[in-house]
């Protein structure tokens, strides 16, 4: 499904204007960081599934 450090594009923009979010933590809920302003948000997996438009890219940590 999703992996750490993936960049997700959401359907609706954040108030700062950015639509891209980086996955910071996975678990029962998913912690995301706005790529534009750096704010964090927690979403349940169901909420995330509804809000994601596309997976933009995956950064490698190797």
| pTM for this model (two decimals) | 0.86
Which pLDDT value is given to residue 23? 96
Which pLDDT value is given to residue 26? 96
Q: Cα dihedral angle (10, 36, 39, 22), rounded to 10 degrees?
A: 50
Which pLDDT value is given to residue 42? 97
Which pLDDT value is given to residue 11? 96
Which pLDDT value is given to residue 1? 80
CA distances from 25 to 6, 7, 12, 28, 42 (A): 11, 13, 21, 10, 9
- Under DSSP, the state recorded for 15 is T
The list of the chain residues with pLDDT below 50 reads 62
């Amino acid at each position: 499904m999703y992996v750490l450090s993936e960049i997700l594009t959401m359907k609706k923009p954040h108030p700062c204007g950015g639509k891209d979010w980086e996955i910071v933590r996975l678990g029962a809920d998913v912690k995301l960081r706005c790529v534009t302003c750096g704010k964090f948000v927690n979403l349940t997996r169901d909420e995330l599934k509804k809000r994601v438009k596309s997976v933009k890219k995956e950064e490698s940590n190797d």
